[in-house]
A and B are shown apart, each in its own frame.
Chain A
Amino acid sequence: MSDHEQERLFEDCLLEALLLDTLAPAARPARPRRRLAGPLLATAAALIVLTGAAVYLWPRGAVYAEPRATGDFTVASAEGKPMAQASPLRGRRVVAGKAGARLAAGGYCDVGLDPGTVVVVSGKPRSEVIEIEDGRAVCRVEPGKGEFAVLTPRGILEVVGTEFEVAVRYPGRKGETGVAQWKRTAVVTVAVLAGLVAYQFGDLAGELGPGASKVFAGEAGAGKRIVAGKATYKPKGDNPAWAEKGRIVGLVRQCPGCTIEVLDAEGKEVVLSTTVAAKGTVYELQWLKPGTYHVRVKAEGYAPLIVERLVVKAKNDLLMNIEFED
């Protein structure tokens, strides 16, 4: 193969990768032996929340609306280099001007930015993410069209069709903004306008209804999450077992009759198990001694999924959502 042919092959392979990565929906074509949603391992054990690949309806033939901004704003690269307003926004920093700005993406995310608010637009089609570095954003998300998450210095808000606002402030550090602030002390306020928001942050867990708000203050940390969405679970802080044991809980979608088993650290013995009855429901595996466990999900027609090395801590809910491919 000549150098030219080799280059051509690589270019063609790269284009096919780009086409698949951009166009292929989360739902994969059915196989004779179907698999559970795939991309679990990347987040396994690292995070409090695990979420399977979401299956969303998207009109065939529609071109996805990439993130765009309107109103008073400037665009900069992630490194802070100023860019043209018409530049693609993904991976870029948007700074709202004095009149405020608006971000829209995918036809289902609408984010209002207060004057001076700084956000980085990331994520990918049908799985949009904005990172709020400073300021306040009001987010409205239409359910059923895609994923939307808000990353804050205190955690991540994962959203399933709700309306809420997030404000990030750095008390005592007026005038300082940007990435350098990311790991410093921050105050994040979440206020729910519609729908339900469930949050979990260390030992804190609960839910907020319309009109409710909560402040998450303290040192910023990665890997902590606040989950916002319609489906939620109840904290069990009032149970005596809570003091020395933990739980694995989460939402199961599209999985009637499936069994969720907790295996011991060696992955041999089943410590606990539960069977999911309804189509979309919340499951609980309680009470587990602090330690490392594996979780096995079994359902008819699917190869078993094993999520390895989940660390359960006392007074903690390990939240793992499970969703199946078609």
Chain B
Amino acid sequence: MDEEALGQHRAMLVRFLLFLLGNLADAEDLAQQTFRIALSKGVQPHKGTDYGAWLRAIARNLVRNHIRKQRRSRLVLHEGLLEAAEEHFVATGSDRDDAWAARRQALLACLEKLSQDERELVRRRYERQEQVKQMAEKLAVEPNTLSKRLERIRGALRDCINATLNGQSDE
């Protein structure tokens, strides 16, 4: 497999790793490692292989090693779920750039529907990547309370995104 073909799958691979790990720096690190392995001479896909699926298989193995060491992933206690996680990733169209772009667009529209306070929490957590514990200290609330609030916000966003995407497919 050549580098150019690999480059076309980079965005997909990073979001797949983000999905599994929930951490941008780790996702990019493992994406790099995946590419390094994919580019090495000893590892070559069979002719006709789906490159995306092949790269995700390499990435899954790296994730297994990573979560054993790091214990940071939300999937850490459910290592056996990795294959099922990939099925979900593909079933939701997240392996396709166009479907992911539509999801992003829906997210941006749904963020607008949140209250200003809720948007600020989302921004701190995901744009500035503050940890819940740090945020809770600054806001003088219990981390559990904040976690539940973020969970509710994510629930609202998830429902809104699904409704938006379903509305688009009904058009």
B112 near A308: Cβ-Cβ < 8 Å:
no
Q: How far is the CB of B2 from chain A (nearest CB, A)?
A: 7
Instruction: Mark B6-36 against chain A: 1 for CB-CB distance below 8 A, else 0.
Output: 1100110011001110101100110110011
Q: Which residues of A contact B64 (CB under 8 A)?
A: none
Determine the distance from Cα of A91 to Cα of B92 in the docked complex, in whole angstroms: 17
Determine the distance from Cα of A124 to Cα of B100 in the docked complex, in whole angstroms: 10
A90 near B2: Cβ-Cβ < 8 Å:
no
Q: Which residues of B contact A222 (CB under 8 A)?
A: 4
B98 near A78: Cβ-Cβ < 8 Å:
yes
Q: Which residues of B contact A17 (CB under 8 A)?
A: 15, 18-19, 22, 94
B102 near A91: Cβ-Cβ < 8 Å:
yes
Name the interface residues of B67-102: CB closer than 8 Å to any CB of A.
74-75, 78, 81, 84-85, 88-89, 92, 94, 97-98, 100-102
A91 near B98: Cβ-Cβ < 8 Å:
yes
A24 near B24: Cβ-Cβ < 8 Å:
yes
Instruction: Mark A140-151 against chain B: 1 for CB-CB distance below 8 A, else 0.
Output: 000000000000
Is A107 in contact with chain B by the CB < 8 A criterion?
Answer: no
Q: Which residues of B contact A13 (CB under 8 A)?
A: 19-20, 22, 74-75, 85
Q: Given known contacts A14-B88, A35-B25, A308-B36, is B161 in contact with A46 (CB within 8 Å)?
A: no
Q: How far is the CB of A42 from chain B (nearest CB, A)?
A: 4
Nearest chain B residue, comparing its CB with the CB of A12? B154
Interface size, B (range): 35 or more
Nearest chain B residue, comparing its CB with the CB of A123? B101
Main secondary structure of the interface of A (DSSP, over half): loop
Q: Which residues of B contact A179 (CB under 8 A)?
A: none
Is B103 in contact with chain A by the CB < 8 A criterion?
Answer: yes
- How many A-B residue contacts, CB cutoff 8 Å? 151
Q: How far is the CB of B23 from chain A (nearest CB, A)?
A: 8
Instruction: Mark A4-23 against chain B: 1 for CB-CB distance below 8 A, else 0.
Output: 00110111111111111111
Name the interface residues of B97-133: CB closer than 8 Å to any CB of A.
97-98, 100-105, 107-108, 111-112, 120, 122-123, 125-129
Determine the distance from Cα of A248 to Cα of B88 in the docked complex, in whole angstroms: 43
A23 near B2: Cβ-Cβ < 8 Å:
no
Is B59 in contact with chain A by the CB < 8 A criterion?
Answer: no
Determine the distance from Cα of A64 to Cα of B107 in the docked complex, in whole angstroms: 12
B108 near A46: Cβ-Cβ < 8 Å:
no
Nearest chain A residue, comparing its CB with the CB of B81? A6
Is A204 in contact with chain B by the CB < 8 A criterion?
Answer: no
A41 near B32: Cβ-Cβ < 8 Å:
yes
A23 near B123: Cβ-Cβ < 8 Å:
yes
Is B149 in contact with chain A by the CB < 8 A criterion?
Answer: no
Is B63 in contact with chain A by the CB < 8 A criterion?
Answer: no
Determine the distance from Cα of A6 to Cα of B108 in the docked complex, in whole angstroms: 26
Determine the distance from Cα of A19 to Cα of B19 in the docked complex, in whole angstroms: 10
Q: Which residues of B contact A19 (CB under 8 A)?
A: 107, 122, 125-126, 157
A10 near B85: Cβ-Cβ < 8 Å:
yes
A38 near B104: Cβ-Cβ < 8 Å:
no
Q: Which residues of B contact A20 (CB under 8 A)?
A: 18, 22, 24, 126, 129
Q: Given known contacts A1-B78, A63-B111, is B154 in contact with A15 (CB within 8 Å)?
A: yes
Q: Which residues of B contact A (CB under 8 A)?
A: 2-4, 6-7, 10-11, 14-15, 18-20, 22, 24-25, 28-29, 31-32, 35-36, 39, 74-75, 78, 81, 84-85, 88-89, 92, 94, 97-98, 100-105, 107-108, 111-112, 120, 122-123, 125-129, 154, 157-158, 161, 168, 171
**Can you report 10 residue pairs joining A to B where beta carbons are below 8 Å apart?**
A1-B78, A13-B74, A19-B126, A20-B129, A22-B104, A41-B32, A41-B35, A42-B35, A43-B10, A124-B101
Q: Which 6 A-B pairs have the closest CB atoms?
A: A46-B3, A17-B18, A88-B105, A42-B10, A91-B98, A19-B126
